[in-house]
Structures are given as C-alpha cells and as structure tokens.
Structure 1
Amino acid sequence: MTQTVETPTTQAPPQVRGIVEAERLTCTIGAQLHGVNLADAIGDDELFTEIRALLLRHRVLFLRDQTFSRAEHVAFAQRFGPLMDHPVAGSDPDHPGLVRIARGPEKKPDYENALHTDGTWRERPGMGAVLRCVETPPVGGDTIWVDMVEAYRRLPEHVKTQIEGLRARHSIEATFGAVLPIEQRHALAAQFPDAEHPVVRTHPETGEKSLFVNAFATHFVNFHTPERVRFGQDYAPGAAQLLGYLISQAAVPEYQVRWRWTPGAVAIWDNRSTQHYAVQDYWPAVRTMERAEIVGDRPF
C-alpha cells in the first residue's frame, strides 16, 4: 500500500504577545495561566491566538477555577478543530465529543493506564485535548505529562541514527481490546486496524522532532533490514529491546511535569509532542474528569 508522505509546514507558529500571564512550571514543559477565563476565548480571537501560541511553546497549559459549562467546554475545544469520540469510553449524548472519565468506589482503577499519547492506534491521532476536573480525591489523582521533544533531543546520537526512518505499529486491539471477548476484540480491530506511524515525528506547526512511541506501540515494521540485522538475534529480541528502551524514555523525571487537580482546574495539551499518565493512587475516593479531544492529522 502506498504511504502518503506529508512535509512540514514552513509557517512559523503564532507569536506569544504577552497578553496572558504564563508561569512556567518546569524547565522544559508546562505553564500555568493566570487571570484567564477560557469561556472568554470562545469569542475572543486575540485571546485564543495567544493561548494557542502558549500551547505550542509549553506543550501543556494549566488553569484553575474555571467555571464554564459543558457546552462552553465543547465550544472552546472546537476552536482548535473538530472533536472526536472514543470508541470505548463514548461521549456525552448532549455534548458530542465530551468524554466523561469517572473512577470511584464502584470502579477501582485498574491495569489500563500507562504513559501514552492519546489515540496513536488511529491513523490520525488527536491533535490535543482540553480536560476539566469535576471532582477530585482529597489526596492523589495527579496527572503527569512528558515532553517528548526533549526526550528525543537528549537521546544518544547513535540511537538517533539507529531509529531514523523507523516506523512502528500501534494497536487498540492489544490494549483496550485485550479485556474483551475474542469476537468483540476482533470487531474492534476490524473497526480500527493497527496504525503505522514514524518512530520520530515532526510537529506540523513547529517543525520540532519528537519521540513518537508509547504504550500503544507493539513493534517496528521496517527494522528487519540488512543494515540493522546481522543475525536473527538482532531482530528478535533486539528490536523489541530497542522499542522498550525508547518507550521507557517517557519515565525520565527531567522530561515531566506533574499537576495536582482541584475542582474546576483545566489542562490543555498538545498530543503531538507529549505523553501523559493519570496516577491511580486514590481508590476508593472519587475522581471525575471531562475531556474534549480534538481531531489531529496523520503523523509524518
């Protein structure tokens, strides 16, 4: 099958003009915005342009005490682009694209979470998301985001050379689908066949390169070549060990920012250059979130 090759845009990202106060939270990733009501950005082009520029710079933005409605949540997220549903979690029937993520006494947090980039099992993973906290436990329930541009930048040069041009498969069947009966798992795989993406992604707006493998990645599809493989041992388990090493880079604390949730707090993240992890340390307390995920493009 012929692969569609896309080239990076030469357009520079929007400039930050300083109309929003942004407090950096780490040296590489994350900023908290102060004095901003996201509902105002629905109809204020200048404010929204500033927020988008800050998102490209900091990769994830945080705000507290946001009181917008579900309809306003959807309307703000739609300023970035159309929204998408999740095939397993579904969405609010009155507000399409808004997914409710609830954990509490009746549903113990379980095995399903890992450091990941949303929806890389899709041909076009999400561009990003807007997540609002509805209810949070008294302690615990933080979320961690990871700067995958920094993770790629700090790889050893010989590893960068080794992975140049590599592509990997990403699977919903092997992750969300693993708990399903075999017939339902196969139906899910038929609806969402494994997607193939570059191991090193180029950001379509900034041109930055990032490491683009995560918990949804199952294997490389073009590793087994004479240039990379001398004997079968180089491929099996050599390729799996390399993939495991690359996936493990998201666990490096120097690439991370950790956010403590409070009711009304919001996170906006760029899914093209980050991974995240919702820490499951609060059961049987309740944690309820609402997320609007924005349609993305095909990684290149």
Structure 2
Amino acid sequence: MEKTLAPPEARPAPGSIRTRSGGSIEVHPLTCTIGAELTGVNLGDASRDDDLFAEIKALLLTYKVLFLRDQDITRAEHLAFAGRFGRLEDHPVVGSDPDHPGLVRIYKDLDSPPEHYENALHTDGTWRANPSMGAVLRCIETPPVGGDTIWVNMTEAYRRLPEHIKTQIQGLRARHSIEATFGAVLPQKKRYELKTRFPDAEHPVVRTHPETGEQSLFVNAFTTHFVNYHTPENVRFGQDYAPGAGLLLNYLIGQAAIPEYQVRWRWTPNSVAIWDNRSTQHYAVQDYWPAVRRMERAGIVGDRPF
C-alpha cells in the first residue's frame, strides 16, 4: 500500500519533540509547504547517537529540508553524520577537501572561476544513473547580505499539477546531462571525456520516493529532453514533438519557480541544511559578488529512481 505524508495543514505544529535519547528537539516549520528549523540539537551528537539520528531522519522525510544554526562541528563529524544516511559521493568537477574525501568545497572567492552552477533550480546529480539521495551543507563563510539558498517541494509541485498534465506525463522518461551543464565550459575534448565517464542518465519524469511512497516531479536544469514522447499517441505532426515536447518540458521545469512550493534560507557561519534530494530542488542565489561565500557539502549516494 502506498504511504503518504500528511498534508501541510495536518503536520505537527511548532513545538518540542522528546527524543528517545532523552533530549528534546524544537521544531519550527518555516513555510506551510517545506522546511523546518531545528533547535536544541547538535549534529556532532547525532553522528554518534542512533536514536537522535533516527529522529532527525524522520523529520527530514516530513519537512524535506531541515535547518540548524550554531553547529560548531568538525569536518569529521560533518562526514560522520552525513554518512549515517548512506555512502558518501565525490563530485567530478567541484573539488573535495584533500584531508576529508567526500566533503565537497563550494568556495566562491574573488578569484573563483566565473562559471555558475548553483544558481539554477536543480536536483543534485540527476546526470548520474543513481542521483544523490541528499546532502548535508554547512556554511563556513557567508556575505553579510545575500547568498541565500532556496529549496522547492517537488512532491507538492506534482500534487498540484492539473490532472490532464498528470495523465499526459504518466510513464514519460527524460534524459539528464552533465555534458550540457558542467561540461559546457570545457574544451571539446574534455567535454567528450566527461560524457564518456558520465553518459547521459535516463529517469522517470515522475519518481516515487522509496521511503514514503510519495510521487514527485523529477525534471530540472540538468534535463535535456523526453526520450519516449515521440509516439503516435502524442505526435500527429512534427510540430507536436518540436516544439511541443520541449514546451511541455519547459512547463514542468518551471513549476519549481512557484513561490508557494519554496522556502528560502539565510545563511550564517556554522548553519547547516540537510535536504532530501529525492523530493526537492534548490537554487543558490548568487547576488553577493564581490563578497565571499564558502560552503562545504557532504553528498549521499542515492538509488536508481523509479
């Protein structure tokens, strides 16, 4: 039987949750749709405490992204906490801390390359056959103003689609490409090498969450095209496919821009975000140059979407 979460209006009100480990976590929902800030918990402790970690994971499945401030934890504790969700992954383009493999450094310094990767609504690693399950992102340094990050509830985005659109996209699959995104700034030879290492991945347009059973819209900035749209049922004339299929894909990708599905987080040093990559998208707002922004992320290997 498919499991579903309570609608936003039925979710727990802000308050204190008594943990099995004897402490309490204060939960403060940030919007009616997505996101909650947790207080009274330290992720260093959660990296060593099975019960405390289980409480945080349960809250993550409910709110999809969790936020904490004043997390003065070590890099080892950061990795240990994230590693409780699953095996950690590296990134083929963005470098890791040399002493802490798997801790990806997203540093925007004054001498950083001009490429923009984060300021697009995206789901991490959908160009992989097994996209990221989620991530734990910690702020090291942030501008005094700007540099926020936005997360989007793609389960809600799918739930509120018109029924005829849901029918139209049922069973559709799409391609996701690192070559067309991260690879676009590379010389042709290196771009081809990147695609050889990471061939375009194919995923369902609507994926099912393996733990909650919820369905989410699963297209984003890495998605290039549908792979099984050109059928007699969908295409009478060429125009039905081009631009027809592309217009439909753009419409679906555009759902992530609807504010009712979003939460926006203002960073402070040692603040942390934990998100479920299987049901969200995010966007790092790059409005702060020439200020500096340094973040460290532990990404978690996911499963194959279905």
Q: TM-score range by the shorter chain?
A: over 0.9
Distance 1:191 1:272, change over 3 A: same
State the Cα RMSD in Å: 1.5
Q: What is the distance in 1 between the residues matched to 2:133 and 2:234?
A: 32
Give structure 1 stretches of 5+ with no counterpart: 1-8
Residue correspondence of structure 1 range 160-171 to structure 2 within 5 A:
160-171=166-177
Which consecutive aligned stretches of 4+ in structure 1 deviate over 6 angstroms post-superposition?
9-13
Q: Is the 8 A contact 1:61 1:268 kept in 2?
A: yes
Residue correspondence of structure 1 range 112-261 to structure 2 within 5 A:
112=117, 113-261=119-267
Q: What is the distance in 1 between the residues matched to 2:203 and 2:278?
A: 12
CA deviation string 1:220-278 (max 9, x = no partner): 00000011111111001100000000000000000000000000000000000000000
CA deviation string 1:47-69 (max 9, x = no partner): 10000000000000000000000
CA deviation string 1:127-155 (max 9, x = no partner): 00000000000100000000000000010
SS of 1:277's partner is: strand
- Counterpart of 1:107, as a letter, is S
Q: Is the 8 A contact 2:148 2:267 kept in 1?
A: yes
Q: What is the distance in 2 between the residues matched to 1:42 and 1:215?
A: 32
| Correspondence for 1:32 | 37
36, 40, 49: which is aligned to 1:44? 49
CA deviation string 1:158-210 (max 9, x = no partner): 10000000000000000000000000000000000000000000000000000
297, 300, 303: which is aligned to 1:297? 303
TM-score with structure 2 length normalisation? 0.92
Percent identity between matched residues is 76
SS of 1:67's partner is: coil
Q: What is the distance in 2 between the residues matched to 1:18 and 1:280?
A: 38
TM-score with structure 1 length normalisation? 0.94
- Counterpart of 2:50, as a letter, is D
Q: What is the distance in 2 between the residues matched to 1:109 and 1:259?
A: 24
Structure 1 residue 45 displacement after superposition: 1.0
- Counterpart of 2:54, as a letter, is T
CA deviation string 1:100-151 (max 9, x = no partner): 1111221266443310000000000000000000000010000000000000
Q: What is the distance in 2 between the residues matched to 1:199 and 1:171?
A: 14
Q: Is the 8 A contact 1:109 1:280 kept in 2?
A: no
